[in-house]
Structure 1
Amino acid sequence: MHHHHHGILGHHTTIAIIFALLSAVAFAVATVAQQRAASKVTDDEVDSGQLIGVLLRRPLWWAGTMGNLGGYLLQAVALGYGSLLIVQPILITSILFALPLEARVAKVKLARQVWIWGTALVLALAVFVVISNPSRGLEQPHTRSWVLLLLIGGPLVALCVAVGLRRSGATRSSLLAIAVGFLAGVAALLTKVVVELIQHGPGEVLTSWETYALVVVGLGGVYLQQVAFQAGSLRTSMPIIQVIEPLTASVLGALMLEEHLRVGHREVLLLAVATVVMVIATVQLALGQAEVESEHPVSHAHLPH
């Protein structure tokens, strides 16, 4: 499928990048729409447990939900063409699209550091995507990889949730956010596997456990995300989710699908620097987004990312 490179990036990689960017835009629009919808809900309505009922009657909230679905389908297409190591980091750019949009809607001016970190993120991402040149991995992880993921990931998520729910405030939302980011990364891996299955026909999709695992992991992540955002300020949960998710997806891509970065010795350092810049910039931008949104938490079901 992946022949010699035409130019810097292979043909398939280029298609993956385009769809990943479109996906990021869709997620950004959805985020802002749902944020607006949730922000109009009064505290009394939340306290009396009517949040979901109220949101379901909001056209804006539905627009956001459709945007999330669209974003997810675009992400699935991107994963069909390209590796997790490229698609997932590009999805971080949804913050870049969401921030100016939110600022416009909320009629606030974006701080200068947002533009600085935004530029840093884009440059680091560009370096990462051009240099990383990941090999095409397996279509299906080995069974032992799934077993290991379950043995390590299961207790990790359970622990974060169990301890998180017993705590309050920042500890609670941080621990839940780690679980959400991890589940979102796993959902991305499952999405890629299911997309590969689709190419073998619909029967294959419906009879494969991966499809059902994806539904469970995806919905579990979406639900936990609401709980995490409800638990505390977005300043704690946003950055954690935004960083853990692509890291998890990339590590799983490397370990379970054997997508390897094909880089020389000199490029390794550049790649390391780009990755560090991406992480720092993502945290800074997520804090910026959390600030714009924190007047009205409770929102965002954009998972898996």
Structure 2
Amino acid sequence: MTRAELVLVLAALASFGFAWSAFLQQQASTHLAGQPGAALSRKGLPGAVRLLGRLVHSPAWFVGWVVNLLAFVVQAAALHLGSIAAVQPLMTTQVLFTIGLSSWTARRWPTIVDWLAGASICGGITMLMMVDGAAPLTGEADRGRVLLVTAAAAGAVAVLVVASRFRPSPALAALLLACAAGVCFAMTAMFMKLTTDDLIDRGVAATARDWVGYALAVSTSIGLALGQLSHAAGPLPWSMSAMNIVNPVVSYISGMIAFGAELPTSPGALAGIAGAAALLILGVIGLVHSPSIGAWSPTDPTPEVSNA
């Protein structure tokens, strides 16, 4: 096996690991909730906190967490052996893996539309990442603009979470929570860049006094919690697709604002962005209208028996 082939295998394994981890954690969430996960939204924050507290003690959820950790290690190995350009596009195949896993547990084959929609989303994300300047978290950040982006992101997350409590359907609740998680993970990438720069340029003591390190911990924790709740609330392919789309889009916008990156203006870059947007829109439309939504949605495997 050549080095390039090994990189492809490792990236595919990591992508499957992330999808499998989300699948296992969704199953654990649904089982512990005692009812379809979307009902948690009506219990508000206390219900969500109680669920997350119980999940920490769930063997099934812990296995999912271990799988997620192993997937990170495998992805790191792939990035060590290959380039970001070779590895990151393959990570978008998480969407396809979640379609397969969700359909497998429902004991039904995904439709052709499901596969085409998933492939369209993967292609759109990949095309966006390949556009020159699509990952503009380079150079020196303007701290004032970082605060502006952080405040805007916090506001967006709050609106999405509140909206998820008034959703017309469990699937939409999952979508809104996943979008909120995607915003958090995009902010995590920015804070990670700033914290790393602090450590390298200013040392540990200065890093400990800088607020971005604490913001990194907060954004990561909230993102993980919201991601878990989105998996419990509705169709896994929806939540994974939303997180995979929102993350790079918000990263793109925050990089433009906080790092002063220039908006691509070349015909090739603009065509790439337009093509990516078209593929993402087609993919989302396909998943939204998929006949598999009901089968993908979490159901209670051990419903409570009424005494009425």
- For normalisation by structure 1, the TM-score amounts to 0.67
Residue 265 of structure 1 aligns with which residue?
Answer: 267
1:196-219 deviations in Å (ceiling 9; x for gaps)? 555559726545422211111121
Shift of 1:175: 5.0
What letter matches 2:152 in structure 1?
I
Deviations 1:232-273 (A, max 9, x none): 666876654443232112222333234557673245224311
Return 5+ residue gaps in structure 2 as ranges. 1-5, 302-308
State which drifts further: 109-118 or 168-177: 168-177
Q: Per the alignment, do residues 147 and 95 of structure 1 end up closer, same or farther by CA in structure 2, a change over 3 Å counting?
A: same
Q: CA–CA distance in 1 between the matches of 2:210 and 2:7? A: 25
Q: Where in structure 2 are the equivalents of 1:1-305 lying within 5 Å?
A: 23-41=14-32, 43=34, 51-52=51-52, 55-71=55-71, 91-132=91-132, 137-162=137-162, 164-165=164-165, 167-170=166-169, 175-197=176-198, 199=200, 203=204, 206-228=208-230, 240-259=242-261, 264-282=266-284, 284-285=286-287, 291-296=294-299
Shift of 1:220: 1.8
SS in 2 for 1:110: coil
Contact 1:86-1:129 at 8 Å conserved across structures: no
Q: How many residues align?
A: 282
SS at match of 2:223: helix
Amino acid at match of 2:223: G
**Structure 1 residue 143: deviation in Å?**
0.7
Structure-2 residue corresponding to 1:301: none
Contact kept, 8 Å, 2:164 with 2:177, in 1: the verdict is: yes
Partner Cα distance (2:151, 2:54) in 1: 39
User: In percent, how many aligned pairs have the same letter?
Assistant: 22
Tell me which moved more, 219-228 or 73-82: 73-82
Contact 2:174 2:238 in 1 (8 A): yes
> What CA deviation, in whole Å up to 9, does each residue of 1:270-298 have, x standing for no partner?
43113320343256458768554313389
Aligned residues of 2:11 and 2:75 also touching (Cα < 8 A): yes
Aligned partner letter, 1:247: V
SS of equivalent residue, structure 2 residue 299: coil
Q: TM-score, normalised by structure 2?
A: 0.67
Deviations 1:57-109 (A, max 9, x none): 543321211233344566789999988x9987764431122222343454321
CA distance in 2, matches of 1:194, 1:240: 26
| CA distance, structure 1, for counterparts of residue 276 and residue 216 of structure 2 | 31
> Contact between 1:160 and 1:179, CA under 8 Å: does it hold in 2?
yes
In structure 2, relative to structure 1, the CA distance for the partners of 1:290 and 1:193 (3 Å cut) is farther
- Distance change >3 Å, CA 161–CA 79, structure 1 → 2: farther
Q: Distance in 2 between matches of 1:228 and 1:140?
A: 34
One-letter code aligned to 2:249: L
Moved more, 99-108 or 125-134: 125-134
For residues 20 and 200 of structure 2, the distance between their equivalents in structure 1, rounded to whole angstroms, comes to 30
- Is residue 125–residue 244 contact of structure 2 (8 Å, CA) maintained in 1? no
- Say whether the 8 Å CA contact 2:102–2:237 is kept in structure 1: no
Q: Contact between 1:230 and 1:297, CA under 8 Å: does it hold in 2? A: no
Contact 2:181 2:223 in 1 (8 A): yes
C-alpha deviation, 1:141, in angstroms: 1.9
